[in-house]
Structure 1
Amino acid sequence: MPIPEGKIGKAIIDKYLKSEKWEESYILCTSELRRISKYSGLNFNEVLDLPYSLYLLYRKESWIDSWNRTDEGREFLKTLWRLQQTKADIKKIREFQQGKEAKFCH
């Protein structure tokens, strides 16, 4: 899944996937199967019979597809993508530096 492990993943979950205490008692065991089934058109048994690599692909693709359906979901995916970037955005850094220099020049 695209959510990182560890402290960063926990922070993302705490910020974007908030749940109330009562909701923890009603977690669905087959929600992932249902999402994959709706995405792929396969029934539950067909999903369970998929080769593991194909199951993981459908799991990831259906997860992304479900977030892509709303503006808030797309913003969430954009945040995840940004957090996974390891190279500096030189263009944005230069824009930021020029903005700071403009403030000091006045």
Structure 2
Amino acid sequence: MAWISLIVAGLCETIDVIMINEFNKKRNWQSLSLLILGFGSSFLFLTFALSTLPMGTAYAIWTGIGATGGAVVGMIFYGESKDWKRITCIAIIISAVIGLKLISS
């Protein structure tokens, strides 16, 4: 259950990145509310995951999911570069996250 919670926390972190971008574009209460809700949800699920998983592993996976998700969302929805070097780096992050999962208990 902790791993599922960690994945949800990472996905919420991706939403946080999107909402930071949206709040910078439109400074309104809806964007701010979703930003706060996203961070709160992300930290709540991360806290639950940390009750079982090692801190270093959980934090690395949480940030890896958030960074990868933010980069992919940026490429798909915000017209950011889809250069092969960027995609290769994203693949390295995903590989590292999978590796951490495989070697962790």
TM-score when scaled to structure 2? 0.35
Relative to total residues, which structure has the larger helix share, 1 or 2? 2
Of structures 1 and 2, the one with the larger relative CO (CA 8 A, separation 6+) is 2
**Larger C-alpha radius of gyration, 1 or 2?**
1
